[in-house]
Amino acid sequence: MPALANRLHTLPAYPFAVISQRVAQLNAAGLDVINLDVGSPDMPPPVHAIETLASSAAASGKHGYSGYRGTANFRAAVADYYANRFGITIDPNTQVLPLLGSKEGIVNLSLAYIDDGDVALVPGIGYPAYAMGALMAGGQPHYIPVTEEAGFLPDLDALEARGLPANSKLLWVNYPNNPTGAVASFAFYERAVQFCKRHNLLLASDNPYVDVTYDGYIAHSALEAPDALEHAIEFISFSKTYNMAGWRLGAAVGSAEAISALLQVKSNMDSGHFTPIYDAGISAFKQTDRDWLAERNAVYENRRDLLLEVMPSLGLRPYKPTGALYLWGKVMIPGLDGAQYVELALNEAHVSMAPGAIYGPDGTAYVRMSVCVPDARLDEAVDRLSRWSQRMK
């Protein structure tokens, strides 16, 4: 066999692929592992989206290529969503691009902008694909320190005072945040856009949890900030908003220049979705009301509150999330970091969590739990972890 490409020698295995393989091995050995590691919604999508998919798939004219830019109706629906949700005017022809899930767009954006020696500015706790995309493109992630005390927001003023690394091109932000559940204000997005404008950066806002929020909070879009449509691109996903993770539908919205660059990469890699998927996405946008979202979020909020209550007894100091699908806890057991805590819980309690280190250098003391588990299964996980933690003491 030929030698592997050099990029594979610098690209680690994707963390959740490793976790999934480990859980599969334990299950194959006869153990029943409860997965609190992945944010895959356990509840169904809106009924009208499923019905639209079925009726569209039954139509004879919906089975050819849908086009590299998706359908015009889907792009228009994305633009309408931004107008109705954020009051932003989006050109569906130049400022919207469908994605095969937002993760694909995140990595392909790096391929569009990052060359050998280029830098992506990545929060010290963030979704792994931001750094992985930079590495895959031949560049490097530069981690911006984030702390719990600062609400897990990057200190852009401190970064500016120190000086940016040479050849910096992208700044990644993600609020509501995975893994912490932290949120960002409109003022933060204003500062971030102006920071990117001053330093000739593209602001890349990963926003899949914008409609997964708690305690009455309403999340912002980075594109609401002045000048954002010239200096920012935002990624949205049906995976979290409409419980459609396996459907792999998302969109990039924002700078026409960035959208064009992303399209140039994507059109050489994929040929778009099955048209009924777009039709179902339009239905999800247009027919899902705020009550459906509120009822769904209330289920997650109840699970969040259960974990917030129990985590201190498990040796974890929780950060109360305002959005997203996760509980982020700092390990308070002497001598254990997040990876060691997760390993012990998996082997001894048979509950799988995500170690904080996979999200960046500032996450090593933490673990992440997902609320995407049916209530009975979550209760069982809490019981297992409680009994295990008592044995640990």
Shared-domain flag, residues 302 and 281: no
Q: Does residue 275 sit within a domain?
A: yes
Domain hosting 238: range is 47-287
In this model, does residue 117 exceed pLDDT 80?
Answer: yes
Q: Does residue 144 sit within a domain?
A: yes
Structure pTM? 0.95
Shared-domain flag, residues 300 and 372: yes
Q: Which token pair is 245? A: 């993770």
Query: Given pLDDT bands bounded at 50, 70 and 90, which one contains residue 384?
Result: very high
Average pLDDT, the chain: 95
For 207-231, write each residue's pLDDT tens digit: 999 999 999 999 999 999 999 999 9
In this model, does residue 323 exceed pLDDT 80?
Answer: yes
For 329-381, write each residue's pLDDT tens digit: 999 999 999 999 999 999 999 999 999 999 999 999 999 999 999 999 999 99
pLDDT at 30: 87
Q: Which token pair is 141? A: 């992630």
* Residue 34: strand pairing partners: 351
Number of domains present in the structure of the chain: 2
Shared-domain flag, residues 90 and 217: yes
Query: Given pLDDT bands bounded at 50, 70 and 90, which one contains residue 10?
Result: confident
Element (H, E) at 317: strand 316-319
Shared-domain flag, residues 174 and 205: yes
* Residue 319: strand pairing partners: 328
In this model, does residue 17 exceed pLDDT 90?
Answer: no
Shared-domain flag, residues 282 and 374: no
For 83-113, write each residue's pLDDT tens digit: 999 999 999 999 999 999 999 999 999 999 9
Average pLDDT over residues 40-60: 96
Domain C-terminal end among 264, 287, 310: 287
Q: Does residue 19 sit within a domain?
A: yes
**CATH number where 70 lies:** 3.40.640.10
Q: Which token pair is 79? A: 């633009």
pLDDT at 80: 98
pLDDT at 388: 94
In this model, does residue 254 exceed pLDDT 70?
Answer: yes
Domain C-terminal end among 287, 312, 330: 287
In this model, does residue 35 exceed pLDDT 70?
Answer: yes
Query: Given pLDDT bands bounded at 50, 70 and 90, which one contains residue 15?
Result: confident
- 8 A C-beta contact, residue 196 and residue 204: no
Q: Does residue 52 sit within a domain?
A: yes
pLDDT at 277: 97
Q: How many CB atoms lie within 10 A of CB 195?
A: 20
Domain C-terminal end among 238, 263, 287: 287
Q: Does residue 302 sit within a domain?
A: yes
Shared-domain flag, residues 99 and 238: yes
Long-range contacts from 292-300, C-beta under 8 angstroms, 24+ separation: 292/46, 293/211, 293/241, 296/43, 296/243, 297/212, 297/213, 297/214, 299/43, 299/375, 300/212, 300/214, 300/325, 300/371
Q: Does residue 1 sit within a domain?
A: no
Q: How far apart are CA 88 and CA 82, in angstroms?
A: 6
Shared-domain flag, residues 133 and 214: yes
Shared-domain flag, residues 131 and 280: yes
Q: How far apart are CA 192 and CA 171, in angstroms?
A: 9
Shared-domain flag, residues 154 and 219: yes
pLDDT at 393: 67
* Residue 330: strand pairing partners: 317, 366
Q: Does residue 265 sit within a domain?
A: yes
In which residue are the tokens 């990469």 written? 265
**CATH number where 15 lies:** 3.90.1150.10
Shared-domain flag, residues 337 and 197: no
Q: Does residue 81 sit within a domain?
A: yes
Q: Which token pair is 289? A: 């009301």
In this model, does residue 267 exceed pLDDT 70?
Answer: yes
**Which has the minimum average pLDDT: 13-17, 49-53, 214-218?**
13-17
In this model, does residue 42 exceed pLDDT 70?
Answer: yes
Shared-domain flag, residues 54 and 195: yes
In this model, does residue 391 exceed pLDDT 90?
Answer: no
Residues contacting residue 297 through CB under 8 Å, at least 6 positions apart: 212, 213, 214
In this model, does residue 292 exceed pLDDT 70?
Answer: yes
Average pLDDT over residues 304-311: 98
Shared-domain flag, residues 183 and 82: yes
Average pLDDT over residues 242-255: 97
